[in-house]
Each structure stands twice: as C-alpha cells, then as structure tokens.
C-alpha cells in the first residue's frame, strides 16, 4: 500500500488567511489522488472549514473535557477523511 505522512501542519495565527494552508492542503490532496489513497487528518476547530472546502468529511469528533486538566469547557477535534478523486 502506498502511504505518505505529514505528521503536523500548523499555521501561526499571525499568518493565517494568506493562502499558505490552502496551498499545502492542495498539494497533499493532489499527492493522495496521484497515489489513489484516502487522506486522513485530525483537524483543529479553526482548520475544519478549510478541510471541508477541499473534500474532507467528518468521521468522528473527539471531545475532551478540559476540566480534567484544570481548564474549562470541552475541546472538540474533528477526525476527517477525503477519498481520492477519480480522474481519467
């Protein structure tokens, strides 16, 4: 099975909205399509819409009760997948 990994992708909030994240996601989805493999990721709430716009869909949403660690509220982390595009 072909596989490529990108362990971590993050855009500093001071530089968000300038297109770098979009370019990286497009590169990754193109590579996944070339290899005919699905792309999986764990999204931040902030990045969720970007990934949806590039064909990712939610598999599950992990919920972390932050009060267990001295915080407040619940942090939600979407687990997402994108199937490879079929082009001929």
pLDDT single digits (tens) 42-83: 998 888 999 999 999 999 999 999 999 999 999 999 999 999
Residue 49 domain-assigned (yes or no): yes
Domain count across the chain: 1
Residue 53 domain-assigned (yes or no): yes
The beta-strand segments (E) located in the chain are: 39-42, 57-65, 74-82
Residue 23 domain-assigned (yes or no): no
Residue 61 domain-assigned (yes or no): yes
Q: Which residues form the domain of 73?
A: 39-88
Residue 1 domain-assigned (yes or no): no
| Count of beta carbons in the 10 Å neighbourhood of residue 78 | 20
Residue 78 domain-assigned (yes or no): yes
Residue 31 domain-assigned (yes or no): no
Q: How confident is the model at residue 3 (pLDDT cuts 50, 70, 90)?
A: low
């Amino acid at each position: 099975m072909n596989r490529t990994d990108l362990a971590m992708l993050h855009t500093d909030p001071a530089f968000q909205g300038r297109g770098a994240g979009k370019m990286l996601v497009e590169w990754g989805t193109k590579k996944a399509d070339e290899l005919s493999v699905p792309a999986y990721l764990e999204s931040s709430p902030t990045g969720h819409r970007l990934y949806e716009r590039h064909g990712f869909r939610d598999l599950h949403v992990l919920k972390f009760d932050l009060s267990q660690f001295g915080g407040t509220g619940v942090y939600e982390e979407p687990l997402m997948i994108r199937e490879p595009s079929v082009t001929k």
